[in-house]
A and B are shown apart, each in its own frame.
Chain A
């Protein structure tokens, strides 16, 4: 039964990937990582420049996953209650209150997209963190549940004005931070510019098959994946070594050019981060038709699940992306398995 289910769901996952790959070209790796997050039930932070297709990608994913999709734009004057309710004067001239984007779809909310999250104030982050962690929200004297909700947020790291850095505790709630970069393939670049198919986003996203996944079954199936894919003692040791190396890279001979390694890391990966890493690795193994986690599965998600959790000395924060990549590459190269 479970083997059959695993295979059937794998087909659905691959179909979702295939559908999204049709409309968002040159992003097969981010799409695989988002698929992994969906089945590992982890929230995703997308990072990339303006206009690289982050929103299109998420809309396409949301359409394929099914369920309700809500979106909010991060602005400097956005307040937490803007996520929960709207107030307005109705046609009858009386004040009315209607549910905000989080509450509107209720339990059917499957994807909540927070655009430009770093433009929102920390108060908003705080509310969102609770929703992300507990998938519940107390409003109007009632606790609302969002059991199927995944949060996809994006941020533009280039612009710094009127932005609020996401604190490490908030970053840690996201399973992955996935960079979205412009494809370098010449043909893809040309088609993005000259193929009119890519100019109308609504029409483009409309081309994705709807509700490929039964989103209400995702939680149950995700638990099944986690149960059915095993990690051997050697792999556990390897993962623990990786974890230790994120905390004390010097002990593993990891060096980053132009960086004093003694001062670099204030905090390595968190236990939650490591458990998310293994959850994502298990899904990657399942997607690759395996029932055991290999080091390659960990490597496939290592950067995206760990890099945003590292806390560096403030002096190195400006070069975070570059330093984190070099350090994590060094860790993968230094830690042996077996």
Chain B
């Protein structure tokens, strides 16, 4: 049997009345909860300007509702709800919400992870705000009492999209917005890395050229001999002393008195000195001249002290495991 037309009308009226009353109920402004029953901590986005359409703002709200109040979970913001701000569609939409909670002795703590996306743009900078969310609580001691708590408002500015050729940043820039900065961290990292390389290179150069004894192997025989010979004078006695000093360093390095007849064995045992073998032979020749033959003939030649210093530097490079620059040390004694 079909219902009568009047009954249908009647039912429609009842449904409409119910819907309307629900809307009325929703918009009812409830009393605000006493502050002592709520602990809140809000982590807002770090900047409040420079947002453009499509940007996402994340907000984290940690709220503890103390007993006897209890959060009405249905009052949590709903994803996709179109919100209005000052009578107009705000253009800022909640796109995700996570609301894990933990219970404790005092009440229950909710951590609300809210993500909003901007769906609004324009030719000028416009103020906007994240949705003013209102949470509702129920007093479990008094079943009928319901209260509300409005989350703090976060205001920000929405910037227009810049179109290449149409926008001049110096004119369009919002005066209170700090200039956009480039990400300088890679450059800073590179700079630091280069500084380290430079420091190592300088240290290496110091190691090669340095004549002090505070680095490993800087106190080795030829490094010491180099320092000692620098202090000796150019007189024949000084040259003899310098030649003796080089002999001492050679003998110490070889672990035996070094002569022409055991030089090959020395070089075989310490290959680092192989490149310097001709220079050592030349030195032994000079030593023979100075100590066993006509010393005056040897000392007549050009600056034996300078040559001995070069030789010491060459052999110092060898003892430090460096490749000596034989071309630079090729001066004849």
Contacts and interface: CB of A to CB of B under 8 A. Distances in A.
A13 B259 CA distance: 26
Contact of B291 (A296, A332, A338): A338
A338 B260 contact: no
Given A294-B288, A336-B251, A338-B243, A299 B293 contact: no
Interface residues on A, range: 10 to 19
Contacts of B244: 338
Interface string A285-314: 000001011111001100000000000000
A232 B256 contact: no
Interface in B2-50: none
B54 to A, nearest CB: 85
A46 B236 CA distance: 46
A336 B247 contact: yes
A334 interface: yes
B257 A234 contact: no
Interface in B233-252: 240, 243-244, 247-248, 251
Contacts of B293: 232, 290, 292
B257 to A, nearest CB: 5
A337 B287 CA distance: 9
Contacts of A334: 256-257
A72 interface: no
A333 interface: yes
Chain B interface secondary structure, helix, strand, loop or mixed? Answer: helix
B281 to A, nearest CB: 12
A296 B247 CA distance: 15
Given A232-B292, A232-B293, A296 B257 contact: no
Contact of B260 (A292, A293, A296): A296
B243 A337 contact: no
B88 interface: no
Nearest to B257: A336
A240 to B, nearest CB: 15
A235 interface: yes
A335 interface: yes
Contacts of B291: 232, 234-235, 337-338
A189 B251 CA distance: 38
Given A336-B251, A338-B243, A299 B259 contact: yes
Contacts of B294: 292
A293 B256 contact: no
B261 interface: yes
Nearest to B260: A296
Given A336-B247, A336-B248, A338-B244, A234 B256 contact: no
A324 B248 CA distance: 26
Nearest to B287: A338
A234 B262 CA distance: 20
A229 B248 CA distance: 27
A233 to B, nearest CB: 9
A291 to B, nearest CB: 8
Interface in A251-302: 290, 292-296, 299-300
Contacts of B261: 296, 299-300
B251 to A, nearest CB: 6
Contacts of A235: 291-292
Interface in B215-229: none
Interface centre among B240, B259, B260 (most CB of A within 10 A): B259
Interface centre among A332, A334, A335, A336 (most CB of B within 10 A): A336
Given A338-B244, A338-B247, A338-B287, A333 B292 contact: no
Contacts of A333: 255-257, 262
A292 B298 CA distance: 14
A94 to B, nearest CB: 62
Nearest to B295: A232
Contacts of A231: 292
B168 to A, nearest CB: 84
B257 A292 contact: no
Contacts of B247: 336-338
Interface in B246-285: 247-248, 251, 255-257, 259-262
Contacts of A295: 259, 292
A85 B112 CA distance: 132
A191 B257 CA distance: 39
Contacts of A290: 293
Nearest to A285: B292
A210 B114 CA distance: 118
A200 to B, nearest CB: 37
Contacts of A299: 259, 261
A235 B291 CA distance: 8
Contacts of A335: 257
Given A235-B292, A296-B261, A337-B247, 14 more contacts: A232-B291, A232-B292, A290-B293, A293-B292, A295-B259, A295-B292, A332-B256, A332-B257, A333-B257, A333-B262, A334-B256, A336-B257, A338-B247, A338-B291
29 contacts: A231-B292, A232-B292, A234-B292, A235-B291, A235-B292, A290-B293, A292-B293, A292-B294, A293-B292, A294-B288, A295-B292, A296-B261, A299-B259, A299-B261, A334-B256, A334-B257, A335-B257, A336-B247, A336-B248, A336-B257, A337-B247, A337-B257, A337-B259, A337-B291, A338-B243, A338-B244, A338-B247, A338-B287, A338-B291
| A-B residue pairs, 7 tightest by C-beta | A333-B256, A234-B291, A292-B293, A232-B292, A336-B257, A338-B291, A294-B292
